[in-house]
Amino acid sequence: MRHHKLATWSVMYLVLGVLAAMWMYPIVVAVVKSFAVGGTGNYTAVLNHDRFDYWSAIGNSFMLAGGSAAVIMIIASLAGFAFARMQFRGRGLLYKALLAGMAIPVAAVVTPLFSTMNDLGLRDSSLGVLLPLVAFNMLVMLLLMKNHFESIPQELVEAATIDGARPIGVFTKIFLPLSGPALANVGVLSFVYCWNEYLLPNLLLTSPEKFPVTQAISLLQYERMSQEQIGQLYAGLILMTIPSVIVYLFSQRYLQSGLTAGAVKS
């Protein structure tokens, strides 16, 4: 029995090691190539580049990712509470329709999305990118919050209702105080997803000063690139990922607790 468990753990660690190597390989390659020709000078060149304004791109990304994450947290928590604890006509049908929307990729709606934003006068604006970011990342976060709210004991809701609390009071005084890890989980995941988004900014933004990091990195690309310019491109890619990695690392303990929210129901 003991040897069987040891073999199982060995296989598990082997699989995890292979998966970790697959994930780390592109990162290691990027780091090595960023120093291959030019060394640390590549990073200095990127930070002082005449076409690529790193700090402006970082600020744009923080504005888009942070703003989207804040809006998603508010809407997902309110909608999750409604679907988990409130009864209204068409509740089941509406929820299934929203879940069906998760199967639609962003690339499938780029043409109507571009036309809509252009008609609304929101093309080449931060708001025009923020709204689709919220819409396309909302559904998964709504599912997370709904599952979490369903795990909160019904006895708490019944006690608050007997005391005369209205639904908004139950939400603000009972559900929100018990939902810190789940909300943090939604916020961090939304931030990372929106930070890494490339298609929507590339579709809707045309002014370089409004580019987030995922789009601004294209300013480091040329038709014919020297080895030094390739090293600067890799350095830019590394610098682009550092802020989101820092946010993820500092919020890791909230993610670990938030991912289990809703796993057990009363």
pTM for the structure as a whole: 0.82
What's the pLDDT tens digit per position in 133-176?
998 999 889 988 888 888 888 888 778 777 777 878 888 888 88
What's the pLDDT tens digit per position in 81-122?
888 888 888 888 888 888 888 888 888 888 898 899 999 888
Q: How far apart are CA 72 and CA 78, in angstroms?
A: 10
Residues 6+ apart with CB under 8 A from 221: 233
- CA distance to 74, 83, 146, 155, 234, per residue, from 92 (Å): 21, 8, 13, 23, 48
pLDDT at 71 (0 to 100): 94
* CATH number among 1.10.3720.10, 1.10.10.10, 2.60.40.2220, 3.40.50.720, domain 37-258: 1.10.3720.10
pLDDT at 172 (0 to 100): 83
* Interval 26-52 mean pLDDT: 84
pLDDT at 6 (0 to 100): 65
For residue 1, pLDDT over 70 is answered with no
* Interval 213-240 mean pLDDT: 84
pLDDT band at 47 (very low <50, low <70, confident <90, very high): confident
Annotate 191-227 with b (16+ C-beta within 10 A) or e (fewer).
Answer: bbbbbebebbbbbbbeeeebbbbbbbbebbeeeeeee
pLDDT at 11 (0 to 100): 78
pLDDT at 70 (0 to 100): 94
Check: CB of residue 258 under 8 Å from CB of residue 186. yes
The residue ranges of every structural domain in the chain are: 37-258
Residues 6+ apart with CB under 8 A from 251: 184, 187, 188
pLDDT at 266 (0 to 100): 45
* Interval 239-260 mean pLDDT: 73
Q: How far apart are CA 147 and CA 80, in angstroms?
A: 8
What's the pLDDT tens digit per position in 173-188?
888 888 888 888 888 8
For residue 49, pLDDT over 50 is answered with yes
